């Protein structure tokens, strides 16, 4: 990390697809250690912004740095962990093998105990030696959560992580996010989960690719600002995932 560099800094960062602006030019500074909630309706630009910061998309205009390093560079990738709303797995690796792969890739010491604790925390102990490629969406998300937290990071980018999670998964993820923040990590969470927003230091709301609010969640009423954007109860899919047979079936 470059001394005194913010966790995230963008200047005129924008993304276009032809004549369509997925993300208007954004100037953004996120200090180290801040917990940010990113909200907005579907298509507002949340995922585009996160993928640009993660180095998974090339900007049409502007620049972005992660802990002082240009996005997409090895140093930037080493500093951040990315939890996608659509996790991808290797077909022939078990949950535990995925965690080992990620941990060893990032030279994580003592990863075995961390992996066991994460697997237990998200409720996958009985499935640790199964292939996540065969899992339901909720179970895949649990495996992805464990993978995201098994390695060291200075910044975590999280995109709609609560979709499809049962109660155990939602509570475990909220606790993991809180603990990471307490340990000094910077977190940016794109979410419709109101509980996550109210625990944040900062709220950024997007609409049609532009920022419509950036400030203290306690100043704005998030639910009023983003009418209809929040899940105040578990989704049908998440409730379905609470069934015991979901934990043992596919």
Interval 19-59: pLDDT, tens: 899 999 999 999 999 999 999 888 899 999 999 999 999 99
Mean pLDDT of 225-247: 46
- Rounded CA-CA distance 94/129 in Å is 5
**Mean pLDDT for the stretch of residues 125-144:** 96
Average pLDDT estimate for 129-134: 96
Is 52 within a domain? yes
Say if 248 falls within a structural domain: no
- Is residue 247 assigned to a domain? no
Sheet holding 186-190, edge to edge: 80-83, 155-159, 186-190, 35-39, 202-207, 210-215
Tell me what pLDDT residue 244 has.
Answer: 39
CA distance readout (Å), 49 to 52, 61, 163: 5, 13, 19
Note whether residue 118 is domain-resident: yes
Domain CATH number, residue 70: 3.40.50.300
List strands edge to edge, sheet with 20-30.
Answer: 20-30, 8-17, 61-66, 69-70
Q: Domain of 27?
A: 8-242
pLDDT value of residue 195: 76
Owner of token pair 């959560």: 145
pLDDT grade for 241, boundaries at 50, 70 and 90:
very low
Please tell me the predicted confidence (pLDDT) of residue 164.
83
Number of helices (H) and strands (E), helices first, in the chain?
10, 10
The model's pTM: 0.87
Q: Do the domain assignments include residue 210?
A: yes
């Amino acid at each position: 990390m470059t001394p005194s560099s913010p966790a995230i800094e963008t200047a005129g960062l924008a993304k276009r697809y032809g004549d369509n602006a997925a993300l208007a030019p954004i100037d953004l500074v996120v200090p180290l250690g801040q917990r940010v909630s990113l909200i907005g309706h579907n298509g507002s630009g949340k995922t585009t912004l996160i993928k640009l910061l993660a180095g998974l998309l090339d900007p049409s205009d502007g620049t972005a740095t992660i802990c002082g390093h240009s996005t997409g560079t090895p140093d930037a990738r080493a500093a951040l962990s990315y939890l996608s709303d659509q996790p991808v797995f290797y077909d022939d690796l078990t949950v535990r093998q995925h965690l080992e792969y990620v941990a060893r890739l990032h030279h994580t010491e003592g990863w075995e105990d961390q992996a066991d604790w994460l697997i237990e925390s998200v409720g996958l102990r009985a499935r640790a030696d199964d292939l996540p490629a065969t899992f339901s969406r909720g179970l895949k998300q649990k495996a992805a959560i464990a993978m995201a937290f098994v390695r060291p990071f200075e910044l975590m980018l999280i995109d709609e992580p609560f979709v499809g999670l049962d109660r155990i998964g939602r509570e475990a993820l909220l606790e993991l996010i809180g603990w990471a923040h307490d340990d000094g990590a910077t977190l940016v969470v794109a979410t419709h989960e109101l509980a996550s927003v109210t625990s944040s230091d900062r709220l950024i709301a997007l609409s049609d690719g532009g920022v419509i609010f950036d400030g203290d969640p306690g100043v704005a009423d998030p639910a009023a600002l983003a009418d209809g954007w929040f899940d105040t109860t578990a989704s049908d899919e998440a409730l379905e995932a609470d069934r015991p047979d979901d934990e043992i079936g596919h």
